A and B are shown apart, each in its own frame.
Chain A
């Protein structure tokens, strides 16, 4: 009995240590996690012996604008101005709504470890943002981007299975606990194979197309990218999320992003629909109308 207690205590310390080490690389997240570990908030409910992550979740950060640290700016795409860069012509009318909110970034170390060619491509993407960001066309977002868009998502988990429904574009992920082997073909959301590491859900995502981005800042990846997500419940209403990206074709080394996911509570815990396909028809097909709008 004493041995069991001692083992649990050690495991608890190890668990705290692991959680701490994940967050310690990014002090901002460490602080956020500490603050939210309020004793008045209970532990995550459990199902089938594991934390039950079911519910509606979202981030409170600006990673979807740019996963690197960034100051606020006038627009997602700029052009040279007489004094300072100004919004590209196509977004001028949006005014402050089209501007970019500042963000602390979510990448460990702050800067993405691009290869020289990768960095050139990212900068070119940024310069041609309006033509290239797949989000503009309402394309499926891929992983990890789906998890930190401005819109929430709902995890559905039982003791046997799990899926994630995203509000953005009605995207969905089938979280597989039985590894079916390599994905038969690449897809926008990839193939997610999960296992439990203690109370952390570890999901390895492979088979993603090279067509998705990380954010609205042109940060991209290749079709060889492997994403390992770690979903660690901190308390009933908070999940620490990390994703380690391995993509030698784009980055000089693997890198990790960290952030918090917050539970939507009460009446807010209802996923709405954002089937944006119909919203982009004018953009994609407007010129093909019988009578194009002026």
Chain B
């Protein structure tokens, strides 16, 4: 709606936050976005054996314009990267991304020139899901984790504050290339 984004901070917004989070988490439509072998497991989650509809995901949307969740299932090649970004841009807000499998999360065992080393180079990722490929229960677990995240996500003024705090923390953190000495 957009109205909830304009509320001033305080009691009203926190109530709306809770309600909106509760509503949003229970009706997420995933976009069909299978790129490789992980997509087979993603399809298996749609079968009656695991039944993704129990989590309010009645169908996999064939168009990104009617999808809220992008499950990047499989390795993202350099050639596919602009397509991933475009599909993500076509999804309406609010939208979430699950990076399914190690290839999508970090390149996995394909540490080479052809594969994007983690889909978070292209789009913001909410949940990382390890596994090669993850079994259907692992994807369901990732979806439940995402539900927790959506339920507690801030809105409007609070979200802007949270984003600003996250940016400040990221800027003040030590960059990886400046970390010296022995690990741990």
Q: Do A and B come from one complex?
A: no
Interface residues, chain B, with chain A CB atoms under 8 Å away: none
